[in-house]
């Protein structure tokens, strides 16, 4: 038995603070706000470092309300795992989940559980001297396909097209763009969303797969109109057209859409994905390992999806998602955020915060054989550590 002897959290922020970009979101769908709100950016990141009695340190992380997640880890979860056997990941997951159920079975509560769970897998794999993907079943192939995920909305359609072409030139065979306009923008907004997609499709041609993300920014009527208008552009999938609780709406939109419907980044636990999958609400499941409940939950979601014939394309990049995708039969590819000069919404932060994050070459990543997740907190990172307030 290997005891867990320490569990500590740290908080980091982007080197130049928050960056706001315009893209669809549920608040904009409600009041028509012209710009994305700070709640939909990820310029702060929390890490969990879990230390074993034998000296190995596992790293987990989360970007969903990290200051609140740190409080949950420190106040509720640390007492459950300290002194326990690091190999008992399932029992520890159940203890953590059953503790946060009353106040956090989705959102920040499960983000905190996810961060600790990821750190557990990392620490145990390091203790055993193997990569995490070996604990998950081993690699399916030497390399894993990833898609370029950026392409934020802009009035400069030529710049958007040039960005898309740059990803083709870098070897990506799949990419995803963000949409902006929603119900408050009326008929003009419908057409402007189409113009965004049209600009990218014309730049990359039809030999490259293109997906589009509405980030919960539409209602049913708007989504039904958009899927008809977007059909000629042969999208690989349309992501999160509705709020996550509108399962009936997802069923309705999926039934009417020739475009595959993807969702799940704001769901947590295998039970939630069981309902998403068995209700026929989605074509593609998109759990985020640092929101769904960590690798313990993520592996179960993949098993459910595999049995149902539903592909899993996790939300976000990062080492923990890559180890899951690279080992699970249900996962055809993974998300990848090309690094820009400055983080846009923070999804690129892991590249700056961690040494060892996989870098895409010709639209593929190759995981190392370094034990654990293969990452460490970069000692000379441009990401700034924020001192934590002590009670």
Same-domain pairing of 119 and 151: no
Q: What is the pLDDT of residue 19?
A: 58
Q: What is the pLDDT of residue 91?
A: 98
Q: For residue 275, tell me if it sits in a domain.
A: yes
Same-domain pairing of 213 and 340: yes
Q: For residue 186, tell me if it sits in a domain.
A: yes
CA–CA separation, 299 and 219 (whole Å): 31
pLDDT tens digits, residue range 31-69? 876 655 455 667 889 999 999 999 999 999 998 899 999
Full-model pTM:
0.95
Catalytic residue among 127, 266, 315, 351: 315
Count of domains for the chain: 2
Phi, psi for 336 (deg, rounded to 5):
-145, 130
Same-domain pairing of 42 and 104: yes
DSSP symbols for 201-244: HHHH-SSSEEEEE-TT---HHHHHHHHHHHGGG--S-EE--S-T
CB 116 within 8 A of CB 96: yes
pLDDT tens digits, residue range 173-209? 999 999 999 999 999 999 999 999 999 999 999 999 9
pLDDT tens digits, residue range 89-125? 999 999 999 999 999 999 999 999 999 999 999 999 9
Same-domain pairing of 308 and 328: yes
Q: For residue 371, tell me if it sits in a domain.
A: yes
pLDDT tens digits, residue range 193-202? 999 999 999 9
Enclosing domain of residue 69: 4-129+379-386
Q: For residue 51, tell me if it sits in a domain.
A: yes
Lowest mean pLDDT among 12-26, 56-70, 230-244: 12-26
In which residue are the tokens 């081993």 written? Answer: 138
Share of residues in the chain with pLDDT > 70 (%): 95
Is it the case that residue 20 has pLDDT exceeding 70?
A: no
CB 343 within 8 A of CB 323: no
Active site residue 315: yes
Is it the case that residue 151 has pLDDT exceeding 70?
A: yes
CA–CA separation, 155 and 253 (whole Å): 28
| 308 contacts: CB under 8 Å, gap ≥ 6 | 277, 278
Q: What is the pLDDT of residue 215?
A: 95
CA–CA separation, 31 and 62 (whole Å): 28
Whichever domain contains 94, its CATH number is 3.30.390.10
Q: For residue 14, tell me if it sits in a domain.
A: yes
Say what angle helices 294-308 and 319-327 make with each other, to 10 degrees: 30
Cβ neighbours around 42 below 10 Å, total: 22
Is it the case that residue 390 has pLDDT exceeding 90?
A: no
pLDDT band at 86, cuts 50/70/90? very high
Same-domain pairing of 155 and 299: yes
Same-domain pairing of 125 and 143: no
Q: For residue 318, tell me if it sits in a domain.
A: yes
Q: For residue 299, tell me if it sits in a domain.
A: yes
Beta pairing partners, 57: 51
pLDDT tens digits, residue range 283-313? 999 999 999 999 999 999 999 999 999 999 9
Q: What is the pLDDT of residue 336?
A: 97
Q: For residue 274, tell me if it sits in a domain.
A: yes
Is it the case that residue 17 has pLDDT exceeding 60?
A: no
Mean pLDDT to the nearest integer, 339-352: 73
Q: What is the pLDDT of residue 37?
A: 47
């Amino acid at each position: 038995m290997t005891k867990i002897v320490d569990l500590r959290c740290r908080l980091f922020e982007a080197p130049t603070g928050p960056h706001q970009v315009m893209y669809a979101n549920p608040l904009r769908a409600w009041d028509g706000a012209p710009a994305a709100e700070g709640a939909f950016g990820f310029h702060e990141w929390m890490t969990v470092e879990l230390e074993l009695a034998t000296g190995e340190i596992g790293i987990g992380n989360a970007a969903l309300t990290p200051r609140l997640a740190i409080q949950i880890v420190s106040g509720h979860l640390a007492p459950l795992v300290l002194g326990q056997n690091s190999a008992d990941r399932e029992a520890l997951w159940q203890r953590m989940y059953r503790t946060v159920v009353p106040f956090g079975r989705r959102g920040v509560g499960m983000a905190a559980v996810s961060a600790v769970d990821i750190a557990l897998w990392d620490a145990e794999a390091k203790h055993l001297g193997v990569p995490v993907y070996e604990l998950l079943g081993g690699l399916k192939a030497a390399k894993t396909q990833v898609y370029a995920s950026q392409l934020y909305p802009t009035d400069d359609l030529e710049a958007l097209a040039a960005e898309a072409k740059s990803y083709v030139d870098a070897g990506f065979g799949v990419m995803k763009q963000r949409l902006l306009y929603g119900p408050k923008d009326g008929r003009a907004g419908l057409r402007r969303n189409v113009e965004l997609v049209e600009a990218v499709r014309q730049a990359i041609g039809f030999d490259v797969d293109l997906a589009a993300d509405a980030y919960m920014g539409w209602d049913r009527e708007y989504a039904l109109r958009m899927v008809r208008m977007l059909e000629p552009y042969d999208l690989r999938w349309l992501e999160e057209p509705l709020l996550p609780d509108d399962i009936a709406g997802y069923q309705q939109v999926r039934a009417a859409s020739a475009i595959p419907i993807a969702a799940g980044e704001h769901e947590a636990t295998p039970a939630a994905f069981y309902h998403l999958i068995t209700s026929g609400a989605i074509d593609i499941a998109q759990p985020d390992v640092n929101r769904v409940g960590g690798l313990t939950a993520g592996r179960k979601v993949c098993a459910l999806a595999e049995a149902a014939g539903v592909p899993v394309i996790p939300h976000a990049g990062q080492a923990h998602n890559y180890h899951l995708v690279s080992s699970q039969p249900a996962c055809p590819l993974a998300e990848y955020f090309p690094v820009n000069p400055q983080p846009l919404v923070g999804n690129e932060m892991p590249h700056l915060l961690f040494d060892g994050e996989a870098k895409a070459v010709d639209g593929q990543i190759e995981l190392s054989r370094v034990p654990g997740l293969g990452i460490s907190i970069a000692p000379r990172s441009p990401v700034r550590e924020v001192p934590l307030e002590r009670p």
